[in-house]
Amino acid sequence: MKFGSQVRAIVWKDILSEIRTKESITSVLVFTLLVIVIFNFAFDSSAETMNLVAPGILWVTFAFAGVISLNRGFLVEKEENCIEGLLACPVPREAIYLGKVIGSLVFMLAVEAIGLPIFAFLFNLPVLSLQIIVITLLTTIGFTAVGTLFSAMAVNTKAREMVLPILFLPLVSPIIISAVKASSMALGGETWGAMGNWLAIIGTFDVIFLVASYLLFSFIVEE
């Protein structure tokens, strides 16, 4: 019960901070919209081309938007050294980790919820289907699970904007590739069964990333 209330307090604090400052949401949304618009002009508008390139464009956009938002995730804790204030509290490090993951997840899903309809409108593709929504949700869970761990690691480095993508993107590439493949099948009108293997890969990585990051987080923040 107390663990849950501590996690909720961390999520509430992160969301309230973001609502007040709008620092991350502004930069991430501008980036997302800009990339979608540029790619929309870069390719011809034939249905064939769009079906071919759209999944890649979608996940490149969300992956890099995610990196920007994760980079900022722990900056708020660095200001006035709040992370030490948190570490001095009788709160399990795992609660801090889960709170930060849920906060980042809510934030990224909000960006995706705005990005997907715009993508659907500009590319004229059915990305607001249940299949794409499930793929997006599963991929974002794995992405934020491991991204939060790397964000905590990178925040103390001088070149954190560079360190996070270099360390993090190679690790999440299996779920990004799987998301691209599954999205491509969904846009091609395939059934759930046909994309089952790709969804299973994303789900498996989600579990591995969540469990490993949950267990490793205390070592990262205490040393």
Nearest to 61 by CA among 127, 15, 11: 127
CB 30 to another protein: min, Å: 20
Residue placing its CB nearer to another protein in the complex, 13 or 120? 13
Contacts (Cβ under 8 Å, ≥6 apart) of 36: 57, 61, 115, 118, 119, 122
CB 164 to another protein: min, Å: 22
CB 222 to another protein: min, Å: 6
Token duo for residue 4: 């849950």
CB 220 to another protein: min, Å: 13
Residue placing its CB nearer to another protein in the complex, 42 or 88? 88
36, 115 in Cβ contact below 8 A?
A: yes
Question: Which run of H or of E encompasses 223?
Answer: none
Residue placing its CB nearer to another protein in the complex, 85 or 189? 85
- Contacts made by residues 190-195, CB under 8 angstroms, sequence distance 24+: 192/131, 195/131, 195/135
What value, to the nearest 5°, has the Cα angle with vertex 72 and ends 77 and 178?
A: 125
Residue placing its CB nearer to another protein in the complex, 27 or 204? 27
Residue placing its CB nearer to another protein in the complex, 48 or 222? 222
22, 59 in Cβ contact below 8 A?
A: no
Residue placing its CB nearer to another protein in the complex, 90 or 193? 90
**Whole-number Å distance between alpha carbons of 150 and 220:** 9
Residue 46's φ and ψ, nearest 5 degrees, are: -70, 145
CB 193 to another protein: min, Å: 45
117, 182 in Cβ contact below 8 A?
A: no
CB 45 to another protein: min, Å: 43
Chain residues that interact with another protein, rule: CB under 8 A: 2, 5-6, 9, 12-13, 16-17, 20-21, 76, 79-82, 84-92, 222-223
Residue placing its CB nearer to another protein in the complex, 21 or 157? 21
CB 76 to another protein: min, Å: 7
